[in-house]
Structure 1
């Protein structure tokens, strides 16, 4: 018999309907809200897809081979996913991230054997990205670069998008996703728009001053290279308090224990559901809530 490895169970995550959060207004408008449970991936987030895609792509092009050192700047989930893939395919992983990321994410990366370099919190992800690029220039490893690597959105064009289309039997009318690297939203948009150009693609960004893990509003010089504004029909802002409250409600009312970015995406999906009719709205539940217990978002 041939058995599957851990990478074979990345993707094909469940799509579940919210049954208690939607209010009477949403029900009266005959709308359905569905969450894509990306926390069910083996390393716990949607980034498992991109991590495997980037490593495989680099291997196929002969850019990397087992034993090499991989370097990546991350705010958490991509680093955990890359650490997992590096472990199972034989690479050394060095991860750079701001020192204010949650303790759970640091420990998860270390558990997979990654070396962690913390960068100044005030510099944010931009500082971590600059240091990673400098390390590569010094010959200390190879940066796959989730922010410019086309294999990132490709993972969602080939996987996430087709899964949503299949699971909704083509009924999806709106797709809502937090915007970090923008790989998920760009790849899914490309696929869904090819199937039905009227599907609305909604990006979620943080309000000014909000710090929501996994959701970013980049300065022009740091915009992901593959980001295509034309693939986004609408951008909605969400505050940190709103995102955290929605994450707590998803856990306490729907039994979906998810991260804060998923709470933000859910809040926007609910916002849209109060405006439209006869819609099937899909939002991405990027990861699991246990990754954020030390942040105070889920008080005891």
Structure 2
């Protein structure tokens, strides 16, 4: 009998595409190639599909959870959606805790997969408060927290899949890897793998400039710094203004046909800054998710 894939089997193997117009003088004339890894092509629409599948599968393998159990996670959106999908695939109940100032599309996607959504007031502490509440609920016996911020299975997904894909897709020519920094699982895992192939590869993180609020890009207070994060594994940081990320999101769609999220646009801003400093480089940035996840925010509305 023929064996067919499940939806979970379609996670990964996402396209890597070259930007044609936005790089301008920073591209061909300097010998630079800027490439976008389209993680919105994953089944639940983001790079977090990889980590969510990894965290649940590995916990199962260790006997820490079994189908029918309740899982709990604090999320700003993409991890929650990916966990809700994976929980639906593998037979778990999912409780997600999210600040109420994040997009309506994210809320709807989580509940569509059958997750229970708890909204917390952003004024009470945003993601930090949501993380505390998740741990409190676990202590009360209401479920198991996978804890994307401290779980090595988060970045392990990128050591095992995203990193090798980029190395193969570029034929080993990648010189710079650029990623938004949230939980930091993507940048930690991909950077770790790429450095095993070529220690000279530069890893660049996009962080929000002071006062900027960019979904998917965070600079955590010291007490909430993700335990999986090792600053020694990031060579350079680019501070991204909210307005320039939003403008770049519109440009990516209108000039390149890449309908990505705001954090992806922030990573592209960082990649272009890198391109302005180097020559003959192959620069890869992560398009973390799809732009349709942000339509209700108005970021893609044309200027009046």
TM bucket, shorter chain: over 0.9
Q: State the SS of the aligned residue for 2:277.
A: coil
Q: State the SS of the aligned residue for 2:194.
A: helix
> What are the superposed Cα offsets for residues 212-271 of structure 1, whole Å, 9 maximum, x if unpaired?
110000011111111111110001100110101111000000000000000000111111
| 1:277 maps to 2:279 | yes
> What are the superposed Cα offsets for residues 91-124 of structure 1, whole Å, 9 maximum, x if unpaired?
0000000011100000000000000000111211
Paired with 2:300 and 2:260, the residues of 1 have a C-alpha distance of 10
| 1:188 maps to 2:172 | no
Paired with 2:44 and 2:90, the residues of 1 have a C-alpha distance of 15
Note if contact 2:88-2:114 (Cα within 8 Å) is conserved in structure 1.
Answer: yes
Deviation at 1:71, TM superposition (A): 0.3
Partner of 1:248: 250
Partner of 1:71: 72
Partner of 2:122: 121
> What are the superposed Cα offsets for residues 176-201 of structure 1, whole Å, 9 maximum, x if unpaired?
00000000000011100111010000
Partner of 1:201: 203
Give me the TM-score of the superposition, normalised by structure 2: 0.98
Structure 1, unmatched stretches of 5+, are none
Note if contact 2:180-2:205 (Cα within 8 Å) is conserved in structure 1.
Answer: yes
Partner of 1:211: 213
Give me the TM-score of the superposition, normalised by structure 1: 0.99
Partner of 2:298: 296
Partner of 2:138: 136
| 1:93 maps to 2:58 | no
Q: State the SS of the aligned residue for 2:216.
A: coil
Partner of 1:18: 19
Query: Residue 259 of structure 1: which of 261, 266, 291 is its match?
Result: 261
Paired with 1:114 and 1:193, the residues of 2 have a C-alpha distance of 37
* Superposition CA RMSD, Å: 0.6
Query: Residue 153 of structure 2: which of 151, 154, 159 is its match?
Result: 151
Q: State the SS of the aligned residue for 1:274.
A: helix
May I ask how many residue pairs the two structures share in their alignment?
300
Paired with 2:29 and 2:88, the residues of 1 have a C-alpha distance of 49
Paired with 1:36 and 1:25, the residues of 2 have a C-alpha distance of 19
Paired with 1:129 and 1:37, the residues of 2 have a C-alpha distance of 28
Paired with 1:185 and 1:25, the residues of 2 have a C-alpha distance of 24
Partner of 1:229: 231
Paired with 2:297 and 2:61, the residues of 1 have a C-alpha distance of 39
Structure 2, unmatched stretches of 5+, are none
Partner of 2:112: 111
Deviation at 1:26, TM superposition (A): 2.9
